[in-house]
Structure 1
Amino acid sequence: MTHARRLTPWLFLLAPLTLLVTFTYAPIVNMLAYSFTDWDGVSPELHYTGAHNYAEIFTRPDLFEVFLVSAYYLAASAVQIVLALYFATVLSFDIRFRNFFKGVLFFPSLINGVAIGFVFLYFFQDGGTLDSVLALFGVHTDHAWLGTPVSANVSLAGVSVWRYLGLNFVLFLGAIQSVPGELYEAAELDGAGRWQQFRHIIAPGIRPVVTLTVILSVSGSLSVFEVPYIMTGGATGTETFVTQTVKLAFQYNKTGLASAAAVVLLLIVLAVTWLQRRLVPDERVDLV
């Protein structure tokens, strides 16, 4: 009976672990194996090339220059976190229509990324929605929003803010609402205003969630794909490391080199995550 009880949890875990290994770890192992070959993604033959693909990646500056584009998304992530924290704090208090505003903020997170890319492609085109809205306020511009590297990257980063704001908002709102309500009541009795409540109750109470959000935002900024791929295809200086990797694999038929690039990106994301965890370790906060 004791042996059966020990075996029961593993029977429940068998299905999810099988799916995890099949669709996550096995592809990673295959990708790592392909990164040491010259496979073109089509031919049944492939040859072992050792570390040649990795040497090419680290000796070609153009393959790493695309990481400069990530700076736009890192800045957008900071704006996104600040806005999400602000709205979560405001809507955590008892105000009118707060459920309506919660739905409005979270709605973009429910939309498919490809659909968002096409919607904003028409939004930013010449004479599109943005130009029409600006014309209503008497602002007439011939500026091509996706025509120059700076304006295109700023526009794409703005789309990312709109898309992921709701997700961070929900994380912050859940963390804020998990703070014991009696703390707010005690603070109000002591005459603390909204800013004092945020500074001394909310901010310390949601610190682990803020840390998690920063980690997700930084790693996401390094691996942006959907929005720039759909809206510009990497043109006008908007190419990211992931879109470049996809081109190497499917446009230039260099699947081995693309696999090596994917491995490098994975290691960079893991290193950045580890560094963030070391610099900002989780601290258990006891507010009671």
Structure 2
Amino acid sequence: MFNLSYNKQKYVILACFLTVPLILLLMFSVYPALALFYFSLTDWDGLGFDMHWIGFANYKDIFTRADIFAVFRTNLYYFVGGLVQTALALWFAVILSDRLRGRYFFQVMLFLPYVLHSVATVIMFKNVYHAEYGSLNTLLGALGLTAWKQMWLGNPHLVNFSLAFISMWKYFGLSMVIFIGALQSIPKDLYEAARIDGASGWQSFRFITVPSVRRVIELMLILTLTGALEAFDIPYVMMLGANGTTTFVIQTVDMAFKFENYGLASAMAVVLLLIVLLVIGLQRKLLFREGR
């Protein structure tokens, strides 16, 4: 190698450094994706290698069964909750980016739920939402609001709101920290100049803060959308998809492991991937066209 020219040595080194990442990418991303698509074209039951090629029959089954896509109504709760969470995270980030006494303490406390494991979070909220000894109903009773006490997990009209709130509470801190990092990159001179020109706090937020963190807001909306479409751990651990809490991912998992129809489950996973890519593309094209 030492007899090679500088340019050839450079290309050899680059090739060596790229070989391992490319091998890992092919092994853990490309090959599983291709295998998933192949399984979606079979009637595989997940046992052994006895699978029969049935073409696009699984995809036809998906698009002709209304019950498969009906569960996206449950995912909608998580999407709306994610939008509210993003707005609140930006608001708290603006407040905690200012010279507020104890702001680091509040930042740590608000970020702490994200560090907790999802199973631990669900167990904790089971004690919050329990109809008899839950802390939420106990608090409402202590405040004299007995009429507000509910079966938060037993009422089909409230259960998805309750679960979406858990998701908001858990991921709020991550969104806030991301926004704080973006806000710290904004030059303080812009706010000083706006203050001298007589701009109010709302005007500074609207014309300085929001345009400056526009790309981050776009990222958070994409994460909110994908997170809502892929909601699984909280409703599954809490309810196992019962009482109208089944999401598309839960239905896919049940199709594979409960009904042993891995072919149809693989097709559902491929459809979900295509939906995510399509919606993200539309979101970027329609909502964030300006400035491109």
TM-score range, shorter chain: over 0.9
- From 60, 66, 70, give the equivalent of 2:65: 60
Task: Give the corresponding residue for 1:156.
Answer: 163
Contact 2:93–2:180 (CA<8 Å) still a contact in 1? Answer: yes
Partner of 1:146: 153
Q: Is contact 2:159–2:245 with CA below 8 Å preserved after alignment?
A: yes
Equivalent in 135, 139, 142 of residue 136 of structure 1: 142
Deviation at 1:202, TM superposition (A): 0.5
How many pairs are equivalent?
A: 285
Matching residue within 38, 56, 70 for 1:33: 38
Deviation at 1:282, TM superposition (A): 6.2
Q: Is 1:191 aligned to residue 198 of structure 2? A: yes
CA contact (8 A) 1:249 1:255 kept: yes
Among candidates 223, 235, 239, match of residue 232 of structure 1: 239
Let me know the Cα RMSD of the aligned residues.
Answer: 1.7
Q: Does 1:124 align with 2:136?
A: no
Q: How far apart, CA to CA, are the structure 2 residues paired with 1:102 and 1:20?
A: 36
1:77 Cα shift?
1.2
String of CA shifts for 1:175-231, please: whole Å, max 9, x gaps. 111111221222233333322221121111011111111111112111110000000
Cα distance in 2 for partners of 1:98, 1:253 equals: 51
Asked if 1:12 is matched to 2:48, the reply is no
Which residue is equivalent to 1:91?
A: 96
The one of 170, 180, 192 equivalent to 2:177 is 170
Aligned partners of 1:274 and 1:138: how far apart in 2? 50
Q: Per-residue deviation at 1:170?
A: 1.4
3-state secondary structure, aligned to 2:17: helix
Cα distance, 1:280 vs structure 2 = 2.4
**Distance in 2 (alpha carbons) for counterparts of 1:121 and 1:18:** 44
Q: Give the superposition deviation at 1:111.
A: 1.4
Q: Who is 2:279 aligned against? A: 272
Partner secondary structure for residue 243 of structure 1: helix
Stretch deviating more after TM superposition (169-178 or 17-26) = 17-26
Moved more, 13-22 or 121-130: 13-22
- 1:208–1:283 contact (8 Å) kept in structure 2: no
Could you list the runs of 5+ residues in structure 2 that have no partner in the other structure?
Answer: 1-5
- Contact 1:67 1:240 (8 Å CA) reproduced: yes
CA contact (8 A) 2:129 2:153 kept: yes
Runs of 4+ in 1 over 6 A off after TM superposition: none
Distance in 2 (alpha carbons) for counterparts of 1:282 and 1:175: 21
Mapped contact 1:208–1:282 kept (Cα < 8 A):
no
| Cα distance, 1:148 vs structure 2 | 2.2
Are the structure 2 counterparts of residues 280 and 139 from structure 1 closer, same or farther at C-alpha, using a change threshold of 3 Å? Answer: same
Q: Distance in 2 between matches of 1:24 and 1:65?
A: 29
**Residue matched to 1:107:** 112
- Deviation, 1:142, is 5.2
**Which amino acid counterpart does residue 135 of structure 1 have in structure 2?**
G
% same residue: 45
CA distance in 2, matches of 1:275, 1:203: 21
Q: 1:182 maps to what in 2?
A: 189
